[in-house]
Structure 1
Amino acid sequence: MTRIGILIGSTRPGRKGEQVARWVHDRAAGRGDAVFEVIDLLDHPLPHLDEPLPALTGRYQHEHTRAWAATVARFDGFVMITPEYNASAPAVLKNAIDYLYAEWTHKAVGFVSYGARGGVLASRQLRTLCELLQMGTVTPQVSLSLHTDFEDQAVLKPGAHHIGALDTLLDHVVARCAEGHATAAPARGEADLETDGAEDLETDEAAIRRHIDGIVDAIQAKDLDRLRRVYSTDVVSFDIDPPLQHVGIDAKLKNWANVFTHFQDVTYEVRDLVPTVGEDLAFTHGFGRLRGTLADGTAVDGFWVRVTFCFRKTDGAWLITHDQVSVPLDILGGRGVVDLEP
């Protein structure tokens, strides 16, 4: 049976990770396709990385490292529970990951984050790290807000919409574990030739995810020059505001410039992105929300929209050639519906 570890990534006093891990485990325990177990870093006290040799060698000198390696090796995949500290994941979690290498590689991983803004920056950082370790990161994730999903910012009471998001994340982690078992067995030789294309697709998929992360970072920095580099010059955009379409990079950037003039600071969040990658064309769809502080100091929470990005590979680089943003329509009322949650 597939074994999934639910890793609590914080050890600080008063942490909320135990509540989140218990919520994930309680939901996961009802499934019949895997066995789920909570891994608590408090049970694995690891000093600041003290191994004399790189983890890549697998030659662990200390007993605490060997014990940690044995724990991680028992699992086929992981759900990492992470808070967000100063726009990043906790140092204790990064340290625990850095101790090992082979025990992580080719295993599935999904992310459940929490924080003032849902912990999305922490999960994004972890995604990049895990991809470098050749882990199979899954796109669906759960982002819990301290403001709306914790009573008095202390007791976890997640919104109902998070149940579906968690189920989707678990579906993908379990499925990715099955893929890992299927591809781990062939010996080197002809099997490598058969999987070269799949590895290329995984590399492109990771590049597209990083591309989306770059868009988020550029929007939050209000950096038009950086945004210019992610779109093709002939991009066609079906944005949320009139007209029906914006054609060309200058029109697209003018749209973003208008947004930036209204906000002192901007937060952009994307969720449940699902990429589909071909040889030179790819697309991804999911949900996005823009929020922040207006020029007059008013905080606005924004609303969720449906987003689609279409990519074309040009000279080896993936660029957005089309994007579309939309909301459902109340047919009888003739108005967009903007109070829905993914």
Structure 2
Amino acid sequence: MTRIGILIGSTRPGRKGDRVARWVHERAARRGDAEFEVIDLLDHPLPHLDEPLPALAGRYRHGHTRAWADTIARFDGFVMVTPEYNASIPGVLKNAIDYLYAEWTHKAVGFVSYGGGGGTRAARQLRTVCELLRMSAVTPQVSLSLHTDFEDDATLTPGAHHVSALDTLLDDVVTHSTEGRTATPTQRETDEAAIRHHIGKIIDAIRAKDLEGLRRHYSTDVVSFDIDPPLRHVGIDAKLANWANVFTFFREVTYELRHLMPTVGEDVAFTHAFGRLSGTLPDGTAVGGMWVRVTFCFRKIDGDWLITHDQVSVPLDMPGGRGVVDLEP
């Protein structure tokens, strides 16, 4: 079923956004054509945008970004609830939006604003931001006045015309979200998303020191040109033995990739990136690790993309005959 997220765009103590979102959810829950869920930014604390690459690249470095992306990706459309602060939207809402791109794109969105003048200036700016993200912003809008729609500046008492406007807004959001949900992505988009998903699961398994989790993402005949001798490691058991050595060496493991770039064909694909393995030794010493060059080669086997070859390398100082391990991407 179509899923619509009702996003509370304020985290300020004493905010009214939770009451507005509750009203939207209670009204929406009467419908049978979609599922509705409140997304509270208080439950998703994000620092000021700290991703090294633009969201358009779709390569998220930090765990908090990936968790936020997973949350937003679950929904087919949104109702954004925003106050108006100094003729604009709250910084926390803009920050949360800026973290992502593909997770927003092509999804429907409607706006419920509130403020001294109904929050219309904030809603106007929010509409512009969402349209730049190629979201489908519906025309109906709800604008609640702090003077006439809140009793004693606390209890929400929207007029009947707001209820009618909200119903119309929900009609349009659900309709556009359902249409977007049934649209079929291209095979290349599907395959690229699957490969990014595999890479993300590999990172998660490395950080969890989960050998069986890693096993699921390699072919049984994988050939690995790893950073440590010998020149090649053949077969899944040899590849996992390398990771087992890493997991023994480190008490806690951190692994990150930057500049991941996939190229997808019909049944063969490859990605290249910069990777860094770091962690904490058994005695508590933190090891920063070094940046290396990483290539993953995939084959589609029985409908699933599996790594059949990977290669890790560092640049070579030719006169000295030593690897250069102090470079950063």
Contact kept in structure 1, 2:82 and 2:113, CA below 8 Å: yes
Alignment of 1:204-283 (within 5 A): none
State whether structure 2 residue 91 is matched by structure 1 residue 91.
yes
Partner of 2:158: 158
Taking the aligned partners of 1:70 and 1:11, their CA distance within structure 2 comes to 21
Taking the aligned partners of 1:133 and 1:54, their CA distance within structure 2 comes to 13
Higher Cα radius of gyration: 2
Deviation at 1:96, TM superposition (A): 0.1
**Counterpart of 2:141 in structure 1: which amino acid?**
Q
Deviations 1:57-83 (A, max 9, x none): 111111110000000000000000000
Q: Indicate the SS of the match to 2:183.
A: helix
**Counterpart of 1:31 in structure 2: which amino acid?**
R
Deviations 1:28-47 (A, max 9, x none): 00100000000000000001
Where in structure 1 do 4 or more consecutive aligned residues deviate above 3 Å? 182-188
Partner of 1:74: 74
Describe the shift of the 1:184–1:143 C-alpha distance in structure 2 as closer, same or farther (beyond 3 A): farther
State whether structure 2 residue 69 is matched by structure 1 residue 30.
no
**Counterpart of 1:89 in structure 2: which amino acid?**
I
Taking the aligned partners of 1:94 and 1:39, their CA distance within structure 2 comes to 15
Deviation at 1:179, TM superposition (A): 2.0
Taking the aligned partners of 2:33 and 2:17, their CA distance within structure 1 comes to 24
Describe the shift of the 1:185–1:58 C-alpha distance in structure 2 as closer, same or farther (beyond 3 A): closer
Deviation at 1:186, TM superposition (A): 5.6
Aligned residues: 188
Taking the aligned partners of 2:148 and 2:130, their CA distance within structure 1 comes to 28
Deviation at 1:114, TM superposition (A): 0.2
> Structure 2 unaligned runs (5+)?
189-329
Deviations 1:212-265 (A, max 9, x none): xxxxxxxxxxxxxxxxxxxxxxxxxxxxxxxxxxxxxxxxxxxxxxxxxxxxxx
Partner of 1:62: 62
Partner of 2:147: 147
Taking the aligned partners of 1:87 and 1:187, their CA distance within structure 2 comes to 43
Q: Indicate the SS of the match to 1:139.
A: strand
Taking the aligned partners of 1:184 and 1:117, their CA distance within structure 2 comes to 41
Taking the aligned partners of 1:106 and 1:166, their CA distance within structure 2 comes to 22
**Counterpart of 2:155 in structure 1: which amino acid?**
V
Partner of 1:126: 126
Deviation at 1:187, TM superposition (A): 6.1
Q: Indicate the SS of the match to 2:109.
A: strand
**Counterpart of 1:10 in structure 2: which amino acid?**
S
Partner of 1:170: 170
Deviation at 1:185, TM superposition (A): 3.7
**Counterpart of 2:170 in structure 1: which amino acid?**
L
Taking the aligned partners of 2:57 and 2:147, their CA distance within structure 1 comes to 44
**Counterpart of 1:88 in structure 2: which amino acid?**
S
Taking the aligned partners of 2:184 and 2:108, their CA distance within structure 1 comes to 13
Describe the shift of the 1:186–1:50 C-alpha distance in structure 2 as closer, same or farther (beyond 3 A): closer
Moved more, 173-182 or 28-37: 173-182
Partner of 1:7: 7
Q: Compute the TM-score of the two structures, normalised by the length of structure 2.
A: 0.56
Partner of 1:135: 135
**Counterpart of 1:149 in structure 2: which amino acid?**
D
Taking the aligned partners of 1:35 and 1:172, their CA distance within structure 2 comes to 15
Deviations 1:192-222 (A, max 9, x none): xxxxxxxxxxxxxxxxxxxxxxxxxxxxxxx
Deviation at 1:183, TM superposition (A): 3.5
Taking the aligned partners of 1:63 and 1:20, their CA distance within structure 2 comes to 30
Q: Compute the TM-score of the two structures, normalised by the length of structure 1.
A: 0.54
Computed over aligned residues only, the root mean square deviation of the Cα atoms, in angstroms, reads: 1.1
Q: Indicate the SS of the match to 2:13.
A: coil
Q: Indicate the SS of the match to 1:105.
A: coil
> Structure 1 unaligned runs (5+)?
189-342
**Counterpart of 2:111 in structure 1: which amino acid?**
F
